[in-house]
Structure 1
Amino acid sequence: MQQAPSQTQVDERTVYDEKPAPRDEPFSHHIFEDDPKSKASLRIYFKILFMITVLITLTIWGILSIYWGANWRFLTGIHKMNGWIVDFDGGPIGATITQAFMNNTGSKEQIDWYTVPASMFPNGEADVADAIVNERAWAAVTIHSGASDRLNAALSARNGSGYDNQVASAYAVEARNENSYVFFVQPQIQTPLEQAVVAYPQVQAQRVGSGIGDLLTTAPNLVFAPVNYTIVNLRPFDIQVGTAIDFVGLIYMLILSFIAALGNFNARVLISGLERRLKLTRLIMLRIVVPVIIYFWLSLAYALLSIYFHVPFDRRFGHAGFVIFWMLSWCAMLSLGLAIEAMITILTLRFIPFFLVPWIITNVSVVFFPIEILPTIFRYGYAMPFYNVSRAVRTILFRTRDQVGLNFGVLIAWIVVSLVSIPLAQAYVRRKQVAEWRASQHTREDAHLGDSEASITTTQG
């Protein structure tokens, strides 16, 4: 009779027949491996990717649309730009040129031209030019005093040798917004004036009548070209590298501020551990003082870069122009960078890029074309850092309307808001950190107490 195997023999055979479980070693798994840990990791991975894709999609539709909107139908807002016609002549030449402009206004895509009495300008055309520089209008067309009388005198004398047919001047400021000047201000000045130049010889022919034959012989210029004009660009955008400072450079300035804020966060939180070592008041002091010092130096480096490329900062304020630009750059970096410093506290590294994108877009959207011609929603741009830096830079470089004090005031207001927000955000985060630390301490104490009780029980047993 065969003897049944003992329990010890069965256990030994079972252990011998079982295959050892594979070790969970790093760098050794496939993507779709049938393994619980690999599946869990893939679920987490694709969940994060899905959330990021959704957030980026919402950013495209909700934030990038702001910039698209600023460049979509801006032509329909040109009528919000005003233009003056000032007739110092009061004769047929003035009437013809005025009528030409009245025939080219009224559409949403045309400058709103209207007549202004010459009596408003006691110093003549010099006052008109000064008004355009000070942005009381986008453009002005003046018909010179006595233009019709001089032409009539030349016609009566049948002598055109001493006659100057420059009877009108148009004034505009390119440096106020070079894009609008090129795209529609200059063309909408030139078109009516060309029409007047073509129309006036016909008006004059009717007035002269049969005497036109003698004029063709003695003074043909009085028949074919009795009127002409001059376009005066009062403040030309004549510093090409100014584009780097005034538009693209603003984006670079924000990116540099972002990099500085990011480096500060990494050094404070992830590497040195100062975030969890310092008292709240000392941490707040560190977070405010350090960026101020860093941006002071970075703004100087940024300003010196423009000096290297011979940007003339002395046109408006003399030698103080460079210092003003440096301080402007410092305030700009503080207003842009401290806002990031405040937001990174709440959003952390994971979500701060979703603040950077709208921060760039909302600023950029209001500096390419004049805010006046954009939809009403873009009026927020008057309070944005980019717009005010751009305005101040134009004053320093091109001597446009001086509102530098107001521009600095807006930037300082942004800095103050951030200086208030940073302590509040840091206090909120510190409260959470302390609560989490206390919870972990309680958990550790409970675990230590459980181990002690188990050890006592084992000893007593």
Structure 2
Amino acid sequence: MTPEGSPKDSAIRRGWALYDVSVGADQNEKAVHSSGASVLSFSPGRNRKGKRESGSHESSGFPPLARTETIQPSRPRTSNAYLHQLFDPIVESLLWDYVREVLIIVMMLVVLMWGALPLYWGSLAPGLSHAPNFKAWVVDLDGGPLGAFVIESVMNSTKIGNRHLDWEVKPASQFSSAQDVANQVVEEKAWAAITINPGASSTLYIARAYGDYTYDQTKAVTLYIEQARSENAIGQLIAPIATDLLDKTLRNFNARDIAAYIRAIRAHPDAIETSLESPSALAGAWWKTVNLKPWDAAVAWPMTIVGQIYLTLFAFIITMSSHRARRNLEPHLTYNSLVALRIAIPLAAYIPISTSYAMLGLFFRAPFDAKYSGGGFFIYVAYTYLDICALGLACEAAMSILRPDHMPLFLVSWFYKDGYLILPGFIPKDETSALLARAKQLIAEFPLEGHPMTRFTTGEEDDPNHSKKHVGDEYFLTSGDKIRFFLEDDAFDAKGNLAKPKEKSVNKIGHGLHELDSVFRKFTMENEKLRQLARDLAFHQDPEGKLISLSMVICKQPEIGGKVPEHNDSSTISTFLYTDPPSALGFWFALEPCTEFNGALSFLPGSHRTTFVRLPEGGTGFVDIENPITPLDLQSQKLERTVDPKASEGDYILETCDAGTLVLIHGSVLHKSERNTSQNTRFAYTFHMIESAPKVRYDERNWLQPAASMPFSKLYGTQAVH
């Protein structure tokens, strides 16, 4: 409370933020206003105007004033906003506060980098891999029978199957010697090269004829590789294929050549005796492998591949932290100054980040000098700097639109672009183990007695292994509100008897797991992390109206887990989860590692944006998925949805993943999986969400229909039905 007689009690309010204040004659009684302006104090006892003014004030209930002046109280001067240049003195302190905070962030990131990344670098340094390439040469420097035979055999290998390199015959005239060929491999003109060395045929025949016991059969043919270029490509593909090819080729050559030689000398006992003095020549020609650059830098793999994830995180942290650091400075700058600041400061901050990142490799002896001597380190620094610039400035651009609260949606843009999104480590390890254990427990406990032996297969009708007893029986069609078990088609013998143990025969468990099993219900229906992800995706119009239509565990059994051909989950001809308009969204959780051998998912990126159909007038064409045809249109117009083999051939991307990974699948994206050829299962849990009515119409032709006993479940806890 302000005491009686204070200046505020003596003020007369006259409009917005205006006060009349008494001004006394004694200049020593000045007061200072909070805004910094001096204001004369009240002086009710020194009224020089006389009784008239005094009486007037008394009648109005206010103390008499000696003189009045109108002042305006202090308030922020909005006229200064967005007017100052970057180095104006008035914002200098704010600018340095901002720079200081960014520097602190950079130093903290450097400390974090050196504290965390060495653990990962060190754990992966012993052995890692790169993706392979297949270009290889074969050069005949011999010009004799051996050279001609090897050339023919190598080129014939490219005509059978796909287990071969991209062999190319290079004329001997292009090279001065075998060493010249080796130098070309070092220069990465080819991944490998086979040379039939000069005089290989003649040296072999002379050694036999004269009994040269010093003959070295491995000098006939040489395989040049450069393991350091890519340990995985050389070790897993190039060297095994090339050595296997040479082994078969030279065995065939020696078998023919030795037989012909023995026939030629069998009438000459002395020649036979002489040949026996050189057993290596009598055995025939062979080859040796020359590793021009051995693989001795496994640490390069995490630095160049997995390390990109860390660079993305570092760039994202700088973007988010910079936004917070400049919040006081930003309102004072012009647009041009703000843009310059948001570009210049991150670009400067990335310099110590990229340099420190590269220096980390020095401690693990990354071979920066392998090709460019000492300059290799600085080339790698520049590469890392440009890399983090591309990532960081993209985050800065997204920040302008999304703001900090919605920056996670930046990642969601990949989902809408490709039609699927891989989220590694979404499920904690213990939760993944619990779901897997529960699925196996359900299989172990279900009785085969009384089971109709319903099989589930997604093979094509013209497939000779395709089961006629497919998914159309009552056991399958009424499974929406039950937990039922469907068997692998190949688990049965030719007589229809189950030939595999029960635990190795189940194709999938479905389709009411999310409601009827306590473990899967808790994970699906009571998972706030899933709910928040569904909100962030903004896939459906009604954020609270997401319906879970079905759930299942897919087992993909060893050796018999069938191939699933390309399909989508809400196609216009599908009887699976079609809604009008399409709204299916799949959540696919890997409960075990998914590899290329046990049937990992493959996707055709972007295929959700168009669909390929067979037109009624003949031919084929693309239909915009945003204006889709419905099952009724298909019936009336006789449109048949197909997949363009030319459009999809070779474009599928295999997405291997670890246990605990979540794969979000757009209902219209084409995807598939191959047969499980391994000895390991590939358990996965999946459920689908669709939009609720009245936003969409759920098609009555779908095989899955909501049951009266268990309507489709809302993700947020209540039940509803279309």
Whether 2:390 is the aligned partner of 1:335: answer yes
Q: Distance in 2 between matches of 1:377 and 1:175?
A: 29
* 1:83–1:139 contact (8 Å) kept in structure 2: yes
Question: Are 1:129 and 2:187 counterparts?
Answer: no
More divergent stretch after superposition (124-133 vs 244-253): 124-133
- Say if 1:274 and 1:244 are closer, same or farther in 2 by CA, change over 3 A: same
Asked if residue 104 in structure 1 is aligned to residue 157 in structure 2, the reply is yes
Matched, 1:294 2:353: no
Alignment of 1:211-360 (within 5 A): 211=265, 213-214=272-273, 217-224=276-283, 226-268=284-326, 272-356=327-411
What CA distance in whole angstroms lies between the structure 2 residues aligned with 1:169 and 1:214? 30
Match of 1:118 in 2: 172
Distance 1:138 1:257 in 2: 35
Task: Please give the alpha-carbon distance, in whole angstroms, between the structure 1 residues aligned to 2:294 and 2:398.
Answer: 40
Output the TM-score relative to the length of structure 2: 0.37
Paired AA for residue 298 in structure 1: I
Amino acid paired to 1:84: W
Cα pair 1:151 1:163 within 8 Å, conserved? no
Flag the 1:187–1:163 CA change in 2: closer, same or farther, 3 A.
Answer: closer
Unaligned 5+ segments in structure 1 are 1-76, 366-373, 379-461
CA deviations over 1:133-165 (Å, ceiling 9, x no partner):
344333221100111111111111023334443
Superposition map of 1:1-400 within 5 A? 81-106=134-159, 107-121=161-175, 123-210=176-263, 211=265, 213-214=272-273, 217-224=276-283, 226-268=284-326, 272-356=327-411, 375=650
| Count of matched residue pairs | 286
Hey, what's the Cα distance between the residues in 1 that align with 2:164 and 2:413? Answer: 32
CA distance in 2, matches of 1:316, 1:247: 20
C-alpha displacement of 1:193: 0.7
In our comparison, the structure showing a higher alpha carbon Rg is 2
Flag structure 2 segments of 5+ consecutive residues without an equivalent: 1-130, 267-271, 423-648, 654-722
Structure 1 length as normaliser, TM-score? 0.56
- Please give the secondary structure, in 2, of the residue aligned with 1:103: helix
The separation in 2 between residues aligned to 1:320 and 1:116, in whole angstroms, is 34
Shift of 1:343: 1.7
SS at match of 2:369: coil
DSSP-derived class of the 2:288 partner? strand
Distance change (3 Å), C-alpha of 1:198 and 1:357: farther
Does the aligned pair in 2 maintain the 1:201–1:223 contact within 8 Å?
no
* 1:215–1:223 Cα contact (<8 Å) kept: no
Summarize the Cα distance change of 1:201–1:164 in structure 2 as closer, same or farther, 3 Å threshold.
Answer: closer
Q: Which digits, 9 at most, give the CA deviation of each residue in 1:336-378, with x for residues without a partner?
A: 211111122122234433434777999xx9xxxxxxxx95799
Contact 1:100 1:196 in 2 (8 A): yes
Paired with 1:162 and 1:252, the residues of 2 have a C-alpha distance of 55
Instruction: After TM superposition, give the deviation of residue 83 of structure 1 in Å.
Output: 2.2
CA contact (8 A) 2:136 2:167 kept: yes
* Inter-CA distance 81–162: structure 2 relative to 1 (3 Å threshold): closer
Secondary structure of the 1:230 match is strand
Once residues 326 and 142 of structure 1 are traced to their aligned partners in structure 2, the CA distance between those partners, rounded to angstroms, is: 38
Deviations 1:87-120 (A, max 9, x none): 1111121123223312321233422223221112
Return the offset for 1:185.
Answer: 1.2
SS of residue in 2 equivalent to 1:257: helix
Q: CA deviation at 1:186?
A: 1.2
Give the Å deviation of 1:195: 0.9
- C-alpha distance after superposition, 1:407-451 (max 9, x if no partner): xxxxxxxxxxxxxxxxxxxxxxxxxxxxxxxxxxxxxxxxxxxxx
Structure 1 pair 137–255 and aligned structure 2 pair: CA distance change class (3 A): same
Change (3 A) 1:359 1:250: farther
Within 2, Cα distance between the matches of 1:350 and 1:338? 18
1:281–1:163: structure 2 CA closer, same or farther, 3 Å change rule? closer
Return 201-210 or 244-253, whichever deviates more. 201-210
Separation (CA, whole Å) in 1 of partners of 2:168 and 2:333: 66
Contact 1:82/1:113 (<8 A) preserved: yes
CA distance 1:135–1:310, shift in 2 (3 Å): closer
**Are 2:312 and 2:392, in contact at CA under 8 Å, matched by a contact in 1?**
yes
Counterpart CA distance in 2 for 1:250 and 1:348 is 24
Q: What is the DSSP-based 3-state SS (H/G/I as helix, E as strand, rest coil) of the residue aligned with 2:157? A: coil
1:256 CA drift (Å):
1.3
- Mapping of 1:445-456 within 5 angstroms? none
SS in 2 for 1:231: strand
CA RMSD in angstroms comes to 3.1
Change (3 A) 1:319 1:217: closer
Q: Aligned equivalents of 1:204 and 1:358: distance in 2?
A: 64
In 2, are the aligned partners of 1:171 and 1:233 still within 8 Å (CA)? yes
Per-residue deviation, residues 290-336 of structure 1 (Å, max 9, x unmatched): 10121111112212212222323233333333233223222221122
Alignment CA distance shift 1:254-1:175 (3 Å): farther
- Counterpart secondary structure, 1:218: coil
Q: Indicate the residue corresponding to 2:428 in structure 1.
A: none
Match of 1:55 in 2: none
Question: Aligned in 2, Cα 1:136/1:357: closer, same or farther, shift over 3 Å?
Answer: farther
**Hey, what does 1:388 align to over in structure 2?**
none
What does residue 472 of structure 2 align with?
none
Instruction: Check the 8 A contact 2:209/2:275 in 1, yes or no.
Output: no
**Distance between the aligned counterparts of 1:323 and 1:84, measured in 2?**
33
Q: Could you give the per-residue CA deviations for residues 375-416 of structure 1, whole angstroms, max 9, x where no partner exists?
A: 5799xxxxxxxxxxxxxxxxxxxxxxxxxxxxxxxxxxxxxx
Comparing 152-161 with 124-133, which one deviates more in the overlay? 124-133
* Structure 1 residues 174 and 84: CA distance shift in structure 2, 3 A: same
Once the two structures are TM-superposed, the CA of residue 86 in structure 1 deviates from its matched residue by 0.7
CA distance, structure 1, for counterparts of residue 216 and residue 184 of structure 2? 30
